[in-house]
Amino acid sequence: MKGTAPVLTLDGPGGAGKGTISRLVAERLGWHLLDSGALYRLTALAAQRHGVALDDEPGLERLASRLDVVFVAEEQSTRILLEGDDVSRAIRTEQMGDAASRVAALNGVRQGLLQRQRDFRQAPGLVADGRDMGTVVFPEAELKVFLTASPEERARRRHLQLQQAGVDASLSSLLKEIQARDARDMQRSVAPLKPADDAITLDTTSLSIPEVVERLTEWLAQRGLAPAT
């Protein structure tokens, strides 16, 4: 698939900072934003709402291809509407994250969402956040980055995020869930979680959010894809 707008793909496991980093880079550059992980969470939530089982691949594929989804970019976050309802918080639970990981392992669902994701590629550019953006969805992207961090740091970040949202969670349970999800995502037969061959791997364990944003915008500027800061 050819496109005229440049694409920055940010892949990596949950808790590596992809969502926040993607939004901040897109805001800084005035680029479009694709939260691909939200699409799988939205498919899982739509399945729950419409009584479709998570192992019903044909039913899930139909849901994925017809998702009524709107992303509303706001100053501090992205508001997500499913069939007109604000589900920004509903799709961020650990339960929905686990369901999304199961849904994302189904080839029919991935095919149903593939063209929808590619349609987000519009001028002046796109920041695509996910787990297979650089390997499957935008293999010709101008800059591919694989963000990672230690499981312990990712669990700590998720725990803090949930606390700030008023959700009680166990740090040890979060760590176990992250490790189990990593193993499942890396071992699945369809689009396993891994860096693209031409991706830059960036470990964010000891980096602040502003440091990561600065590094990514510098790399884009070096390639002539964005103004130098």
Does the predicted model carry a pTM greater than 0.75?
A: yes
What's the N-to-C CA distance of the chain in angstroms? 30
**Sequence spans of domains, the chain:** 7-218
Tens-place pLDDT, residues 137-172: 999 999 999 999 999 999 999 899 888 888 888 999
In the prediction, which pLDDT does 129 show?
93
Q: Enter the CATH code of domain 7-218.
A: 3.40.50.300
Residue 186 pLDDT: 85
Euclidean distance between CA atoms 127 and 200, whole angstroms:
15
- Edge-first strand listing for the sheet containing 78-82: 69-73, 78-82, 85-86
Using one digit for the tens of pLDDT, what is the confidence trace for 53-99? 999 999 999 999 888 887 776 767 888 999 999 999 999 888 898 99
